[in-house]
Amino acid sequence: MLREVAEGVLIHESEFCQSNTVVVQGRAGVLLIDPGVHGYEMACLANDLSDSGQTVVAGFSTHPHWDHLLWHAGFGAAPRYGTARCAATARDRLSDGVDAVAKAAGIPEQVPLDLLGLITGLPAGTAQIPWDGPHVRIVEHQAHAPGHAALLIEERGVLVAGDMLSDVLIPMLDLNNTADPIEDYLAALRLLEGVAGEVDVLVPGHGSIGGADQVRARIDQDRAYVQALRGAHVPGDPRVGPSAMPGWEWVGGVHDRQLQLLARTSEHGAAPG
């Protein structure tokens, strides 16, 4: 079930929205990035790791959305990290209890929620994940969710993009109390463009793994989408409309909703809550 995409970097693809979990081998065990979604998938991953004699020594959540904040008892009690803003946002959103979050977000029943969101925020400005393994640079930006971070596994040339640079999902802006979500997103794309030359393998949070050529292509595609959104144009984007991949037709609805919310924001001069 695990596929190696670079030396010591393995991917598990979930049945839920083509979510990618990343396993990075270190000296004393593995780092798990966005550990997974369905309970049976995480249990299977935990078994595979223990069968091959590998323990989980650290976890990392790229951003505070439920499908990136999960954990399974079989992974053990390793520290689970996120950026400071990611951890604070997760804590805040879970303050009314897991059930309220599950109901609001429509989380499927197969998802175990008992360990949801129990992450430790790394101090603001932390440059690397603290663990005994390949250097993993934290590229934090404000785009899809508060404290969203892409990770660059430097020695392996792997960029873990979180919910950016997907071939199936359009850029989904953070429209919760953000002053200029479009400019934030464009700034984040510029930041990712700045590391593109170091990337051989691109791993989006949802969608297909890309090679070096895909990094700039997906940055360009996402930028074109966001600029079309700003101009309230219909984007000529393959992820929206009849060319959307089978099973991803709902992305068109996400696009329509973003257009509506942005129109309302510019009318009233305030972001919707």
Binding site for Zn ion (CB under 5 A): 65, 163
Query: Which C-beta is closer to Zn ion: that of 12 or that of 65?
Result: 65
* Element (DSSP H or E) covering residue 59: strand 56-60
* Element (DSSP H or E) covering residue 252: helix 251-268
CB of 269 to Zn ion, least distance (A): 27
CB of 243 to Zn ion, least distance (A): 23
Query: Which C-beta is closer to Zn ion: that of 12 or that of 148?
Result: 148
Written as six digits, the tokens of 84 are 């400071």
Phi, psi dihedrals of residue 181, rounded to the nearest 5°? -60, -30
Query: Which C-beta is closer to Zn ion: that of 66 or that of 131?
Result: 66
Query: Which C-beta is closer to Zn ion: that of 163 or that of 184?
Result: 163
Closest residue to Zn ion, judged by C-beta, is: 65
Separation CA 129–CA 83 (nearest Å): 10
CB of 107 to Zn ion, least distance (A): 13
Check: CB of residue 24 under 8 Å from CB of residue 30: yes
Compute how many other C-beta atoms are within 10 angstroms of the C-beta atom of residue 43.
16
Query: Which C-beta is closer to Zn ion: that of 65 or that of 239?
Result: 65
Query: Which C-beta is closer to Zn ion: that of 68 or that of 72?
Result: 68
Separation CA 259–CA 183 (nearest Å): 15
CB of 205 to Zn ion, least distance (A): 7
CB of 172 to Zn ion, least distance (A): 7
Ramachandran sector of residue 46 (left: φ over 0; alpha: ψ -120 to 50; beta: rest): alpha
Of 255, 271, 65, the C-alpha closest to 184 is 271
CB of 66 to Zn ion, least distance (A): 9
The DSSP bridge partners found for residue 159 are 152, 202
